[in-house]
Amino acid sequence: MLFSRRLMLGLAMAGSLAGALTFPAMAEGPTEIDLFFPVPVDGKLARDMGTLIKEFNEGHPNIKATAVYTGSYDDTLIKTRAAIKAGKPPSAVIMSANFLLDMQIENELTNLDPLIAADGTTKEQFLGQFFPALQGNAVINRSVYGVPFHNSTPLLYINADKAKEAGLDPSKPPQTWAELTDWAKKLTKREGDKVTQWGIAIPCAYDYCGWMMETLTMSNGGRYYNEEFGGEVYYDTPSMLGALSWWNDLVYKHKVHAPGATPGPAVSTSFISGNAAMMMLSTGSLTYVRDNAKFAYKVAFIPRNVRNAVPIGGASLIVPAGLEADKQKAAWTLIKWMTSPEKSGWWSRATGYFAPNMAAYKTPDMVDFLNKNPDAKTAVEQLDVAKPWFATYKTVPVRKNLEDEVMLVLNGKKQPKEALAAAQKAADETLKPYNAETSLKLP
Amino acid sequence: MKLLDRLFKDAPLATRNEITPKLGFVLTVLLAIVWLIPFLWMGVATLRPASDGINLMAELMPSLKPTLDNVRDAWEIGDFPRYTLNTMIICTGILLVQFVTITLAGFAFARLDFAGKTLIFYLFLMQLMLVPVLLIVPNLSLVAQLGLYDTLTGVMMPFFASAFGTFLMRQAFEAIPTELEDAALIDGASLLQRIRHIYVPLSMPSFSAFAIISVTSHWNDFLWPLMVINSPDKRPLTVGLSVFTATAEGTQAWGTIAAGTLMVIAPLLITFLIFQKRFISSFVTSGIK
């Protein structure tokens, strides 16, 4: 043996000593951190994100942050998880707000409580900056795991010109499903069997479809999942059946909604081009509509069947588990900076998402902006009736269990009742391992 | 129709007086037109000014006031020369190593005798059944352990060996008469010399067919490079392009997307147009249709 055990030990000790000695020297250089961000908006905003991070780096010479583009919300989750498992966790991620619970269950998140305490603030003070409706997706088991960054609620967009043309008053938008159905009927134009203008468009593509189902179910008095426990979803329930049946009726009974599952961009394009007179879409599309609509438009609350309620959407900033202390601290500095009233307001004006930090609405820039664009107020007002976004164990597969079935219904291949029963069965199967470890594990 | 006459002149001479081949030819032309429409639309959309609004976006008629604004926007958002270079490095890097590995592996399976040959070959082929997504996490941990996270080598690594390529080369080598190899053996050629001077030159069509498949699939790969690459300057084209095509909440700038897509596919398209004849003949002779 060339190397004795003693020699190896000696080498190891010398190595760690050298490491300890060089450490202060290394700490003088900037701490390099990566921020993973999805692009929930078009390319212009990818540039805006670049601008934001550049500004941060200029103001914080001891931190060098790099913005890493990571695809859609779902891709971002895959990439973050793969990076954590590969031992290369990013320092911060703009993560779809409803993935936090699943990540916390898998021990992939840093509990932010100690970082908040180290700043000399309490959890309540820290969370108090944000709209109360957002806290459900940020707090798990009374600990803070995420900081709201850009958030949305679904909205009803109405082409006011077309409404007037059809003898409807756009200043009194439909408030109930009955009124909305009536509006949609009046706004649908036909030439023989061919529809030249649809009354309403509602998106259904992976990710969006689950969110829209939650929207409709909530305004039908129900809920999508158990907010207190990650192992239960309520797919096969009267409230969800009513919601899906109404959506199905819009397509196949009233024929005011185009058949098939339409992705979000196709919905906004069809609204802008006048092919659909109304649409249900995220606040995140507001800037796009404002910039492209060549007609008067109106933004309204999502109509109710039983009650006014909408889910939160959008993303929170998280810190993955397994980071070195200095990176964690630098990431925390970045997160606090990005969610400050000024930056949060700036991002809101650029995107159309609302600013989660309530103080953002008191900044002069924002007051000015809202005076010029009163349509941006609707989403904020709707926050009074907003509730958390569905979040379960394995959120993405559980969501897809429902979405696959809803798509079949919209494509005319299944009836709502059997679709929901199948979705419930599939979701129960997906949730089984978690329930076996939690609610069904008896002492 | 002058154009049709000219097209017919290109139809095979022997079939010029029959009806069925003519119908077939017309059908092919129709299919080609259907195939061309998205390209035309992409070209038209690229040149359409934003002031035309989204209403005209779906139209095939070009705008009266064409503009290069979209191209400029796409160019500014993405560092396209860098992305193109990265993609080219990835594709050629993978292909060069693959040529070596599939030649040697294909030869071993076609001509060498060893214990468990058939079993190992089937195990090799089973790799084709695996969905690549399944291997993302194990592959990524391996790449990270090797210190290749966020490097182009890390992107290339998992594809250095190709089950499909090995299979293809095995088939090609098996079709070569053993007499040729025996003759070389008598002349005193070593194993590598025999591969180099007999098997490789006689399997050129299979090599080019494989090269096309390999390059196009890695040119279009999105998820794996997205996983490995963090630094913006190491992005390949697909990841760079999706920065402004992927959306979650429903808005899209079609003009910019069209311009970006055109930039991404242009190199591949131009290469195809230049080497068109060669590509097609290599597919015909290697039996992939």
Give the model's pLDDT for residue A26: 47
Q: Do B149 and A88 touch (CB under 8 A)?
A: yes
Provide the sign of the torsion angle of the four alpha carbons B204, B206, B208, B211, taken in this order: negative
Residue with tokens 């059908």: B27
What are the structure tokens assigned to A249, written together?
């009726």
Q: Nearest Cα to A156, choosing from A109, A202, A107? A: A202
Q: Which of A70, A272, A294 sits opposite B226 (nearest CB)?
A: A70
- Averaged over A37-51, what is the pLDDT? 69
Q: Nearest Cα to A185, choosing from A253, A259, A280? A: A253
Give the model's pLDDT for residue A351: 78
What are the structure tokens assigned to A406, written together?
């809803």
The C-alpha torsion from A13 through A88 and A68 to A112, rounded to 10°, is -90
CA triplet A188, A194, A195: central angle to 5 degrees? 20
Reported ipTM: the value is: 0.70
Element (H, E) at A165: helix A160-165
- From CA A353, how far away is CA A359, in angstroms rounded? 15
- From CA A315, how far away is CA A302, in angstroms rounded? 21
> What would the pLDDT profile of A190-225 be if each residue is shown by its tens digit?
998 889 999 999 999 988 999 999 999 999 999 999
Q: Nearest Cα to B128, choosing from B167, B157, B99, B91? A: B167
Question: Cβ of B237 under 8 Å from any chain A Cβ?
Answer: no
What are the structure tokens assigned to A300, written together?
């309204």
Give Cα A3 distance to the centre of its chain.
Answer: 56
Contact residues, chain A, for B77 at CB < 8 Å: 43-44, 46-47
Under the banding of pLDDT at 50, 70 and 90, the label for residue A157 is: very high
C-beta of residue A277 within 8 angstroms of C-beta of residue A174: no
- From CA A41, how far away is CA A72, in angstroms rounded? 10
What are the structure tokens assigned to A402, written together?
């429902």
C-beta of residue B219 within 8 angstroms of C-beta of residue B268: yes
Contact residues, chain A, for B251 at CB < 8 Å: 41-42, 264-265, 268, 284-285, 287-289
Spatial neighbors of A43 by CB under 8 A, at least 6 apart, are B73, B74, B77, B243, B244, B245, B253, B256
Give the model's pLDDT for residue A33: 92
3-state SS class at A151: strand
What are the structure tokens assigned to A261, written together?
């599952």
Q: Which of A66, A86, A267 sits opposite B149 (nearest CB)?
A: A86
Spatial neighbors of A154 by CB under 8 A, at least 6 apart, are A211, A212, A215, A280, A281, A282, A283, A302, A310, A311, A313
Contact residues, chain A, for B58 at CB < 8 Å: 273
> What would the pLDDT profile of A374-396 be if each residue is shown by its tens digit?
989 998 999 999 999 999 999 99
The residues that bridge with A156 in the sheet, in sequence order, are: A280, A300
CB pairs under 8 A between A and B: 143
Under the banding of pLDDT at 50, 70 and 90, the label for residue A22 is: very low
Choose the mutation target among B234, B249, B263 for the interface with A, i.e. most A CBs under 10 Å.
B249
> What would the pLDDT profile of A278-313 be if each residue is shown by its tens digit?
999 998 888 888 888 889 999 999 999 999 999 999
Question: Cβ of B120 under 8 Å from any chain A Cβ?
Answer: no
Residue count of chain B: 289
Element (H, E) at A66: strand A63-69
Q: Given the DSSP bridges, would you call strands A143-144 and A92-96 parallel, antiparallel or unpaired?
A: unpaired
Under the banding of pLDDT at 50, 70 and 90, the label for residue A426 is: very high
Under the banding of pLDDT at 50, 70 and 90, the label for residue A29 is: confident
- From CA B74, how far away is CA B261, in angstroms rounded? 9
Ranges of residues in chain B with a pLDDT under 50 are: 248, 250, 289
The residues that bridge with A33 in the sheet, in sequence order, are: A65
Q: What does the DSSP 8-state code read for residue A427?
A: H
Instruction: Round the average pLDDT of chain A to a whole number and report it.
Output: 89
3-state SS class at A125: helix
Give the model's pLDDT for residue B282: 67
- Averaged over A398-411, what is the pLDDT? 97
- From CA A339, how far away is CA A356, in angstroms rounded? 8
C-beta of residue B269 within 8 angstroms of C-beta of residue B242: no
Residue with tokens 């991070």: A53
Q: Which of A46, A79, A265 sits opposite B250 (nearest CB)?
A: A265
Longest dimension (CA), chain B: 76
Q: Nearest Cα to A318, choosing from A306, A332, A337, A333? A: A332
- From CA A165, how far away is CA A175, in angstroms rounded? 20
Residue A442 has phi, psi (to 5 degrees) of -95, 145
Q: What does the DSSP 8-state code read for residue B197?
A: I
Q: Nearest Cα to B215, choosing from B87, B63, B25, B29? A: B87
